[in-house]
Amino acid sequence: MVVNIFSWLEPQLILEKYGLEISLTGRILSNFDHDALSTWKLTGGILISTIPLLSLSGSFWAFHRLFGNYRKGDYFSKRTVKYLEYAGWGVILWSVLDILCEPLLTLWLTMGAPVGERFFSLSLTSSHFVAIFISVCLAIISRILYQACDIYDENQSII
């Protein structure tokens, strides 16, 4: 999120010099003159482009908790598997929000432009499909692990 904010405030430094690019911000800022953006448009752009990143940060938190439980040896509990499911759904939500926030962001940034200079942008990239595919796989694996947890609990009760 810090890189996203600095991308809006100093795009030459972040995007051009270091080559760091957050997907939505990088796609949008390449079409606008940074110096022509008002403070309100800049603030709105930062807020709108941060929305998908909040979901992604939730996924990182879920992965952190998941691997924390693995480190403790807690492999077959439903609580641990729930974190895998949260991570999968968080990435799905990030992809969907990234797609949906782009039109909102372009409308926000071109709202005060003269007629003929306003535009509406919608992008579906291969990274969206890859992220959705991998996160759906994580969600399916979490469902399978839920069943494995039931079998593990049953085996523990027999022993």
Tens digit of pLDDT for each residue in 97-155?
A: 999 999 999 999 888 888 888 888 888 889 899 999 999 999 999 999 999 998 988 88
What is the percent of the chain where pLDDT is above 90?
Answer: 51
43-68 average pLDDT score: 94
Q: Output DSSP code: residue 115.
A: T
- Residue 15: pLDDT band with limits 50, 70, 90: low
Task: Kindly report the average pLDDT of the chain as a whole number.
Answer: 87
The pairs formed by 141-145 with CB atoms below 8 angstroms and a separation of 24 or more are 141/84, 141/88, 142/81, 142/82, 142/84, 142/85, 142/88, 143/85, 145/76, 145/81, 145/84
